[in-house]
Structure 1
Amino acid sequence: MKDVIIRPELCMGCRSCEVACAVSHSKSKNLFSALGEDPAPKKRISVEYMPAIEASVPITCRHCEDAPCVSVCPTKALSKDTATGTVNHNLERCVDCWTCSMVCTRFSSLYQLILASGCWTSSMANNYGVIDRRTEEGTVVRCDLCEGRELPACVEACPTHALVFFEVERRQEANSFSFS
C-alpha cells in the first residue's frame, strides 16, 4: 500500500501542505475561491513545532493496517479498504462521537522519538490533524490520501520533500516499515 511518509528533518514549517490539503478538499479546488466557501474547507494534516527537537513535524493519518479507529467505531462509519489499504470514512454514518480519536495510535511508532524527548503538546493529545472535528456537519474529518488523485495534495505541495508518497510494506510483528 502507498502511504505518506514524513521526514521531519526536512520540514521547514511553511504549512504549504495544510493549505494544499484544505484547497484539495474544498468545493472549488481553487485557493482564491476556497477562501470564501461556507463552510470553510478543512485540512487533514497539521504541522506541529516541537521545541525540544527544534523541528516542525507534519501530522496526518497512517491508515494503520490494524486500524483501531475502525474496530471501535459504533456506527461503522470507518472501514478498511482491503484493496488499497486505506481507512475510509462514511460521512452519513458518522455521529461525531470522537471514539476514533481516543484510540488513534498515530503516535505509537513514528512519534516515539517525540515522546521520548518530552515534547508532547496539548494539540497532539487530541490527535489534532489526524482526526479533526467538522462541527458544522456533525462529523469528523480525516486524511483520505486525496482519493482520486495520483499524488496527495500535501505531498505535491511540499517544497522540501518532507512528505513523500511511497509504497510501504508493513510488518505487523515489529511495527516497522520497509520502503519499496
Structure 2
Amino acid sequence: MKRIYALEDWCIDCKRCEVACKVFHSKSKDPVKAFLFEQPRPRNRVRVEGNRTLSIAINCRHCPAPKCVEGCISGAMTRNPETGVVTSNPEKCVGCRTCVSLCPFGAVTIEEGPRHPIAFKCDLCGEVPGVPGSPSCVAACPNRALIYVESEGN
C-alpha cells in the first residue's frame, strides 16, 4: 500500500499542504470561496508543526494494524482491508478522543462537530487532476517534502 511520508529536512513551513487539503475537502473546490464563504469551513486533515527552521507535516500513516481503529469504542474508525486506508466516520464518532491518544504519529485531531467534537484525520484524498495517484497535499508541496510511496511497514 502507498503511504505519505514527510521529509522534515525539505519542509519550509509554507503550509501549502494544509491549504490543498482544505480546498480538496471543500464544497466549491475554490480556495477563495472555501476559505471566505463556505459554512461549515472545510477542515484540513494534515497539519504543519514547527517553524521555518524545522517543520514537518503531520499526517496519518494508515497503519497495517491501526491502534486508532482497535481502540475506537463506536466503530467510527475503520480500515479498508483492500486499500489499507483508515477513515473516520463523523456520523459514528462520539468524541471520546481515544483515537487521538492511541495514534503514535499524532495524526488524529478533534474538531467541533454539529453535536459534539469529532475525530478528523487524513483520508488519502485521492487523485488530484493532472497529478494521477497523488493526494492533494503531496501534489501541492513545492519542495517535495511530502512523498507518496509504497510501504510495507509503519
Q: Same fold (TM over 0.5)?
A: yes
Give structure 1 stretches of 5+ with no counterpart.
Answer: 107-126, 176-180
Q: Which residue of 2 aligns with 1:131?
A: 108
Residue 56 of structure 1 aligns with an amino acid whose one-letter code is S
d(CA) in 2 for partners of 1:136, 1:103:
21
Are 1:71 and 2:70 an aligned pair? yes
Give the secondary-structure state (helix, strand or coil) at the position aligned to 2:61.
Answer: coil
Contact 2:110 2:120 in 1 (8 A): yes
Amino acid at match of 1:23: V
Could you tell me which residue of structure 2 aligns to residue 140 of structure 1?
119
From the CA coordinates, give the structure whose radius of gyration is larger. 1
Cα gap change, 1:70/1:27 in structure 2, threshold over 3 Å: closer, same or farther?
same
Distance 1:13 1:144 in 2: 22
Matches within 5 A, 1:7-46: 7-35=7-35, 36-46=37-47
- Give how far 1:104 is off: 0.8
Alpha-carbon separation, structure 1, partners of 2:77 and 2:68 = 7
Cα distance in 2 for residues equivalent to 1:104 and 1:50: 23
- Aligned positions, number: 147
In structure 2, distance between residues paired with 1:14 and 1:28? 23
CA 1:136/1:88 → structure 2, altered by over 3 Å: closer, same or farther? closer
Q: Is the 8 A contact 1:70 1:79 kept in 2?
A: yes
User: 1:80–1:88: 8 Å Cα contact kept in structure 2?
Assistant: yes
Task: Report the Cα distance in structure 2 between the residues aligned to 1:169 and 1:99, rounded to whole angstroms.
Answer: 25
TM-score, normalization by structure 2: 0.88
Task: Pick the aligned partner of 2:134 from 144, 147, 151.
Answer: 151
Match of 2:49 in 1: 48
Offset, 1:64: 1.1
Q: Match of 1:144, as an amino acid? A: D
Query: SS state of the match for residue 100, structure 1?
Result: helix
- Judge conservation of contact 1:77–1:89 (CA < 8 Å) in 2: yes
| Structure 2 CA distance for aligned equivalents of residues 140 and 39 of structure 1 | 16
TM-score, normalised on structure 1?
0.76
Contact 2:126 2:134 in 1 (8 A): no
Identity of aligned residues (%): 39
What is the alpha-carbon root mean square deviation over aligned residues? Answer: 1.6
- Which amino acid in structure 1 is aligned with residue 48 of structure 2? V
CA contact (8 A) 1:39 1:136 kept: no
Q: 1:159-170 alignment to 2 at 5 Å?
A: 159-170=142-153
Structure 1 range deviating more: 143-152 or 54-63? 143-152
What do residues 43-64 of structure 1 show as CA deviations (whole Å, max 9, x unaligned)? 111111169xx41111111111
Residues 5-29 of structure 1: CA deviation (Å, up to 9, x unaligned)? 1111111111100110111111111
